[in-house]
Amino acid sequence: MFEPKFAERSKLLKPSSIRQMMAIAKELLAQGKTVYELNIGQPDIPCIPEFVDGIMRKAESRQINYTPYNGETYLRETYARYLNSYFDRRGVDHLVIDTENILVCAGASHCLSNIFLTICNPGDEVLTIEPFFSPYQGFLAIAGGVLKAIPTEAENDFALPSNEVIESYITEKTKAILINTPNNPSGRIMSYEELERLARLCVEHDIYLISDEVYREMIIGDEEAVSVLQIDLHDDELNEKLINRMIVVDSASKTFSLCGVRIGFVISLQPIVNTIALVNAHTVACISDIMQYGVASCYDAVMWRPEYIEEFRGIYRERLEATMEAIHRYLPKCIVSRPKGAFYVMIKFPELEDVNEFCHYTLEHFNMGGETVALTPAKNFYLDPKLGKNEVRIALVVSPEKMKRSIQIVSQSLKSYKRYKANIDSHMRQLL
């Protein structure tokens, strides 16, 4: 039997646990079963209608053309205007973003893999904060880089550790600190003080500060997110050094319920933007023109109709309320903290040793009136193998009623699973 030979990096890649669950759930759905897919951040909300108008206009021209490798100028202009208006509407100080600071990639994932390819040689390290969006590790592995994680604790509201702790993770190989605020999976928003502290550390250690802000608009608590674009170090030289080390990532996926559009943005200074653009050119050549026109219509629309974002937030807040209530009622032993941003809830099951098995049990062996739930085991959101073993992440991607029903199903599945485990245990004891 012939074994094809692959490069070292490809041996490190594996399907994310989110995507593995998605494959099983899709199979069950294809069989006609009802699965609440809380495993993936794919909202059921129809996309913003302006998107359809935007792509129709372009599609009807039947001229579907290559675009510049840094993105369609019209979209870059529109996005820069939108981003400035985001801050201006809130009356906060911010770096003023210009068209030349914007690069369009095929989604935020592609932004990150392009950034890592641009800044990391094989063996270089990127620091992130636990828990983190699990595919980061694979995006970095594409460039031969290694992800290191600074642990934070749910009990301490995932607060950023002291500078001493963070610095103990910085080595000569560290190229960047990568943060995600609002955070997937924890829903935490980093404070201005924390961001400023990280910014100073990045300047001092001459490393990049990469800020994944795809959930910036997705606020489900009562405070807005803070962007690294708002940081002021009150010293011209330090600010100059900071903006030369800062790379922001954004995406149209969550803001407009457009996960399948695959349009993301890198925001940085020259020559950083142009260097990442060259990697973009040599990974995908350029980005779909029709999707760029569709997304430009969306950003244009929310500048004129900011209440769209408020409606969106309202929908998620209702889902969060229903979910929190259901967890307290049906899963009283579980530990849960209220997320402030993004649209995920982390649930800790103190009774369980390995929620991975429980998630598979629920999806594949349990149903309640023909309905079941896909969950994401949280293990992969941590590098430390001791962490996240009894946590799951759920996404607020269905109606309040369905969220409540899902928690009920999980609760019943938990009882069934415990009986199943107890049976196996007693069977094992009989065998001994």
Residues 371-430 that bind a copy of itself (CB under 8 A): none
Using alpha carbons only, give the angle 262, 379, 173 rounded to the nearest 5 degrees: 75
Q: By CB under 8 A, which span of 82-90, 238-246, 304-312, 404-412 interacts with a copy of itself?
A: 238-246
**Given 76, 216, 241, 393, the residue binding a copy of itself (CB under 8 A):** 241
259 binds a copy of itself (CB under 8 A): yes
150 binds a copy of itself (CB under 8 A): no
24 binds a copy of itself (CB under 8 A): no
**Given 21, 22, 97, 225, the residue binding a copy of itself (CB under 8 A):** 22
**Sites for a copy of itself among residues 112-141 (CB under 8 A):** 113, 117-122, 124, 135, 138-139, 141
**Given 34, 85, 144, 357, the residue binding a copy of itself (CB under 8 A):** 144
**Given 258, 296, 302, 395, the residue binding a copy of itself (CB under 8 A):** 258
**Given 83, 103, 286, 392, the residue binding a copy of itself (CB under 8 A):** 286
| Nearer residue to a copy of itself within complex by CB, 2 or 369 | 2
| Nearer residue to a copy of itself within complex by CB, 152 or 174 | 174
At closest approach, how far in Å is the CB of 417 from a copy of itself?
Answer: 28
309 binds a copy of itself (CB under 8 A): no
Q: Based on C-alpha coordinates, what's the Rg of the chain?
A: 22
How many residues touch a copy of itself (CB under 8 A)? 84
| Nearer residue to a copy of itself within complex by CB, 44 or 310 | 44
Q: By CB under 8 A, which span of 13-21, 95-103, 321-329, 388-396 interacts with a copy of itself?
A: 13-21
At closest approach, how far in Å is the CB of 116 from a copy of itself?
Answer: 9
| Nearer residue to a copy of itself within complex by CB, 289 or 300 | 289
343 binds a copy of itself (CB under 8 A): no
Binding mask 40-69 for a copy of itself (x = CB under 8 A): x-x---xx-x-xx--xx--xxxxxxxxxxx
At closest approach, how far in Å is the CB of 4 from a copy of itself?
Answer: 5
How would you class 144 by CB atoms within 10 Å of its CB: exposed for 0-12, middle for 13-18, buried for 19 or more?
Answer: middle
| Nearer residue to a copy of itself within complex by CB, 9 or 94 | 9
14 binds a copy of itself (CB under 8 A): yes
**Sites for a copy of itself among residues 170-209 (CB under 8 A):** 175, 206, 208
At closest approach, how far in Å is the CB of 224 from a copy of itself?
Answer: 26
**Sites for a copy of itself among residues 65-94 (CB under 8 A):** 65-69
**Given 76, 188, 216, 245, the residue binding a copy of itself (CB under 8 A):** 245
Residue 87, Cα to own-chain centre: how many angstroms? 21
At closest approach, how far in Å is the CB of 293 from a copy of itself?
Answer: 10
Three-class DSSP labels, the chain: CCCCCCCHHHHCCCCCHHHHHHHHHHHHHHCCCEEEECCCCCCCCCCCHHHHHHHHHHHHHCCCCCCCCCCCHHHHHHHHHHHHHHHHHHCCCCCCCCHHHEEEECCHHHHHHHHHHHHCCCCCEEEEECCCCCCHHHHHHHCCCEEEEECCCHHHCCCCCCHHHHHCCCCCCEEEEEEECCCCCCCCCCCHHHHHHHHHHHHHCCCEEEEECCCCCCECCCCCCCCHHHCCCCCHHHHHHHHCCEEEEEECCCCCCCCCCCCEEEECCCCHHHHHHHHHHHHHCCCCHHHHHHHHHHHHHHHHCCHHHHHHHHHHHHHHHHHHHHHHHHCCCCEECCCCECCEEEEECCCCCCHHHHHHHHHHHCCECCEEEECEEHHHHCCCCCCCCCEEEEECCCCHHHHHHHHHHHHHHHHHHHHHHHHHHHHHHHHC
